[in-house]
Amino acid sequence: MQRRPKIGIIISTTRPGRFADIPTNWLFNIAKERNDADFEIVDLRDYPMPFFEEKVPLHVAPPLNEVALRWGEKVASLDGYIFVTAEYNHSIPAVLKNALDYLWSEIHRKPAGFLGYGGGGAARAVEHLRNILATAQVASLPRAVHIGMIEMMGMMREGKSMADYPYLDDYVQADAGRARLVGQHTQGRPLWRQGCRGSLSSGHQESAKVATTVPIPAYGH
């Protein structure tokens, strides 16, 4: 029996008082109800890596830092990713960029989805992240979840919760057929072969299909 793909929900900020835990837990609670994949939260707080300054490129040798090695092993064990990210100065948090710089083949040819929050729904951060991941040979899914400042302020200052914004849940539930849409857009070609060399393992292929049906609402990128 083929194993279920493992999808990591990566919390991309580490600062005290971060907002990230709220949308991450909301997303995880929805995702864990699925029966076609296993989801886990991967928190960058658990991988406190120094700024990248390895002596040789990672395609030559793995990093020497033990935490970076552990981070790479975790990423390699996953078949796909959902990045939960804030927007700092029109880009992603530095801690996320640094973590990605420590990766090489661990992340190649795997699918990634996105949940952004902040001003403009972190749309600029998500787009920058797409460019970074493209260089890392990651197959970014075409749409993302964007939580804007109105929802954020409601939860941070007015005691509201994700339940007070049911349209976000509606967008998630409405996307159950996303895999079929991706198949149409790719004209029958597997998502993981576009812009990538080689092929994925069967587990990664399944994760590409599953990741297209996890929270990716039908608005914006």
Cα–Cα distance measured from residue 56 to residue 41, given in angstroms and rounded to the nearest whole number: 30
Token pair recorded at residue 76 = 């390699």
Token pair recorded at residue 133 = 């991941």
Instruction: Give the per-residue pLDDT at 188.
Output: 32
For 92-140, the pLDDT digits (tens) are 999 999 999 999 999 999 999 999 999 999 999 999 999 999 999 999 9
pLDDT at residue 154 tops 70 = yes
pLDDT band at 1 (very low <50, low <70, confident <90, very high): low
Supply the pTM of this predicted model. 0.79
Cα–Cα distance measured from residue 86 to residue 92, given in angstroms and rounded to the nearest whole number: 6
DSSP 116-141: EESGGGGHHHHHHHHHHHHHTT-EE-
Q: What are the structural domains, with CATH classification, of the chain?
A: 6-211 (3.40.50.360)
Q: pLDDT higher for 163 or 34? A: 163
pLDDT band at 81 (very low <50, low <70, confident <90, very high): very high
Q: Are 69 and 62 in contact (CB under 8 A)?
A: yes
pLDDT band at 39 (very low <50, low <70, confident <90, very high): very high
Cα–Cα distance measured from residue 158 to residue 154, given in angstroms and rounded to the nearest whole number: 5
pLDDT at residue 53 tops 80 = yes
